[in-house]
């Protein structure tokens, strides 16, 4: 099987002066089955006319995109010599078999921040609706859409092991995977075309040899697509099987075929292999996306022994630690699997590159936590390490080319380590007493700050949609922690603690975008901010810089949140029934439960 990657003749590549911002960034793959043509494999010459036509069309499609980016337009077909009837019939059959995408063209993505070049930083907005900036200009939410080449087929000869999944459904899911899911989830790495290309190649090459592996991954893609397009009910934690809450027919079909493929492998009593690990991982990630965490933990424990004997593929070693940590975040339990690498400090040269200017506001990041004496030493130390992750994300957002592959790998590992430690440290520290079931008893303020730091890691470097099972579970934990803090404080707390809660609520509001808890967090932020008004946004941002804050990713979103808070406060102050704000605030805080 040969992988025909889009290429451009050397002459056109050398003569073009396109910058990276003008050239099309989406790279496509077309699979051509040559397993039955030994001559073509040995002599590297394709004798099948239809295969040559598909590859030629694939390459010319890229050429046309580059020409359009240069402002050149090809002569219409009626002005060129007439093609032969055989070519026309081939083209007609190829078009008729192309998948028809029925997804919305520009889906909105709630609670998501796309990492953009510096000149586009004003587009980083909350995606629940069109917000208005402080200057009065409306700012649209971020949207993703499939690439312009919607008639491209990844598998025109049906060579991928899609089993009984219809070809149109398989093509649609592959297109969604490469155009939306991977760029959205790995937004930091997808700023570099080489990184995108490497991840796409890894995904396809590692899946094409095993039906169970391919279908398990497609089930994850189908679940992600169903949630993004709203084809589901509320996925907050419940005893119900969340597969029943997904209304997308493609998801139900692909998930069924994935389970059947794994069972066939088990029934054939195949020896443990990396393919079995990858197949089970597909089921794990699918269960995590929809919120079936008990199912996910069962599969995680099942493959832990297999991995100790046969290892895992390079792709699973990228995805599995992240999924393991996300499941632990959703369940707020000790991670099942340990991290599969030795921890190392960030190299000194990278530390020097990402360090903010000494006189800048970002140089103060994390220092406000040191004023909170109620926080444990373990959490204080962890929050200081979180500054490196924020600095890496800030540098990536400021630079149009993003981070280097080595820096991306460091960011990915450090972010995973940070989340892992935030979930695990209460179980390892003797500072917390234990309940009867062995769970640590964490003080109210520490619970809120810890969950805010975990919520911050759902924005970057890996984006988790608020409506997914992981997103809904984390929002529920955040609401319960906030309620416990309100009950413990009874509306009375120090100014430093109030500022930390305000920072936490900014995180919670964004994480709950378009979720039922969003209004609860917004009302609470409005009440607590009574002691901060009438601060302007620059003054609020200066306060937030003392915690964990990434200006390029959070500024526009949180400014919109603060604007809404000030509008609500002014409306309340103008009300004829308005009473003293401080007394009103304490009454509301005491009755929030």
Q: Could you give the CA distance from residue 505 to residue 485 in angstroms, rounded to a whole number? A: 12
Higher pLDDT among residues 404 and 386, named by residue: 386
Q: Could you give the CA distance from residue 101 to residue 149 in angstroms, rounded to a whole number? A: 11
pLDDT at residue 568 tops 90:
no
Spatial CA neighbour of 65 closest among 25, 94, 34, 14: 25
Q: Could you give the CA distance from residue 173 to residue 187 in angstroms, rounded to a whole number? A: 19
Which of 423-437, 487-501, 535-549 shows the lowest per-residue confidence on average (mean pLDDT)?
Answer: 487-501
Q: Could you give the CA distance from residue 56 to residue 48 in angstroms, rounded to a whole number? A: 12
pLDDT at 31: 61
Q: Could you give the CA distance from residue 308 to residue 304 in angstroms, rounded to a whole number? A: 6
pLDDT at 560: 96
| Cβ proximity of 341 and 479 under 8 Å | no
pLDDT at 481: 98
Which of 16-25, 280-289, 429-438 shows the lowest per-residue confidence on average (mean pLDDT)?
Answer: 16-25
pLDDT at residue 352 tops 50:
yes
Task: Give pLDDT tens digits for 317-346.
Answer: 778 899 999 999 999 999 999 998 999 999
Number of Cβ atoms within 10 Å of the Cβ of 493 = 19
The share of the chain scoring above pLDDT 70, in percent, equals 69
The share of the chain scoring above pLDDT 90, in percent, equals 46
* Stretch 169-195: mean pLDDT: 82
Task: Please provide residue 590's backbone torsions phi and psi, each rounded to the nearest 5 degrees.
Answer: -70, -25
Residue 460's SS3 state is coil
* Stretch 574-592: mean pLDDT: 47
Q: Reduce the secondary structure of 286-355 to three states and give it as a string.
A: HHHHHCCHHHHHHHHHHHHHHHHHHCCCHHHHHHHHHHHHHHHHHHCCCCCCCCCCCCCCCCHHHHHHHC
């Amino acid at each position: 099987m040969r992988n025909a990657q889009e290429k451009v003749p050397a002459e056109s590549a050398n003569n073009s002066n396109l910058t990276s911002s003008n050239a099309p960034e989406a790279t496509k793959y077309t699979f051509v089955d040559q397993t039955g043509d030994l001559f073509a494999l040995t002599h590297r010459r394709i004798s099948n006319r239809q295969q040559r036509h598909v590859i030629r069309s694939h390459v010319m499609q890229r050429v046309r995109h580059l020409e359009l980016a240069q402002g050149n337009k090809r002569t219409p077909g009626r002005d060129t010599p007439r093609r032969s009837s055989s070519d026309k019939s081939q083209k007609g059959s190829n078009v008729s078999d192309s998948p028809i995408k029925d997804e919305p063209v520009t889906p909105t993505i709630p609670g998501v921040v796309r990492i953009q070049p510096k000149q586009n930083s004003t587009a980083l907005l909350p995606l629940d609706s069109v917000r208005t900036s402080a200057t009065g200009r409306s700012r649209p939410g971020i949207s993703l859409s499939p690439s312009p080449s919607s008639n491209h087929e990844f598998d025109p000869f049906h060579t991928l092991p899609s089993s009984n999944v219809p070809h149109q459904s398989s093509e649609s899911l592959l297109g969604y995977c490469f155009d939306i899911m991977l760029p959205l989830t790995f937004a930091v790495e997808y700023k570099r075309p080489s990184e995108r290309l490497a991840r796409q190649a890894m995904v396809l090459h590692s899946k094409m040899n095993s039906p169970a592996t391919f279908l398990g991954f497609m089930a994850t893609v189908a679940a992600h697509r169903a949630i993004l397009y709203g084809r589901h009910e509320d996925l907050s934690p419940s005893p119900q099987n969340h597969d029943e809450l997904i209304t997308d027919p493609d998801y139900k079909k692909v998930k069924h075929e994935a389970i059947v493929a794994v069972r066939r492998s088990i029934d054939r009593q195949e020896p443990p292999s990396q393919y079995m690990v990858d197949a089970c991982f597909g089921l794990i990630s699918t269960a995590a996306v929809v919120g079936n965490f008990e199912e996910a933990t069962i599969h995680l424990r099942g493959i832990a022994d297999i991995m100790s004997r046969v290892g895992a593929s390079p792709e699973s070693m990228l995805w599995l630690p992240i999924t393991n940590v996300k499941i632990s975040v959703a369940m707020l339990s000790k991670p099942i699997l340990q991290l599969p690498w030795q921890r190392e400090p960030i190299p000194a040269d990278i530390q020097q590159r990402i360090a903010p200017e000494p006189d800048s506001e970002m140089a103060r990041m994390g220092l406000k936590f040191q004023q909170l004496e109620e926080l444990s030493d373990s959490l204080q130390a962890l929050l200081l390490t979180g500054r490196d992750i924020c600095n890496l994300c800030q540098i990536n957002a400021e630079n149009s080319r993003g981070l280097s592959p080595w820096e991306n790998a460091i960011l990915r590992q450090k972010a995973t380590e940070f989340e892992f430690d935030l979930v695990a440290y209460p179980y390892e520290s003797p500072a917390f007493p234990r309940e009867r079931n062995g769970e640590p008893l964490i003080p109210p303020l520490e619970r809120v700050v810890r969950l805010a730091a975990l919520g911050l890691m759902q924005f970057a470097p890996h984006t988790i949609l608020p409506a997914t099972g992981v997103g809904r579970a984390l929002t529920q934990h955040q609401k319960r922690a906030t309620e416990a803090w309100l009950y413990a404080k009874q509306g009375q707390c120090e100014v430093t603690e109030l500022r930390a809660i305000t920072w936490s609520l900014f995180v919670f509001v964004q994480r709950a975008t378009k979720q039922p808890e969003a209004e609860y967090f917004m009302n609470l932020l409005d009440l607590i901010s009574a002691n901060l008004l009438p601060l302007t946004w620059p003054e609020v941002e200066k306060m937030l810089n003392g915690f964990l804050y990434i200006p390029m990713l959070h500024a526009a979103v949180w400014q919109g949140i603060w604007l809404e808070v000030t509008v609500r406060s002014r409306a309340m102050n103008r009300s004829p029934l308005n009473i003293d704000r401080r007394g009103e605030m304490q009454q509301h805080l005491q009755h929030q439960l």
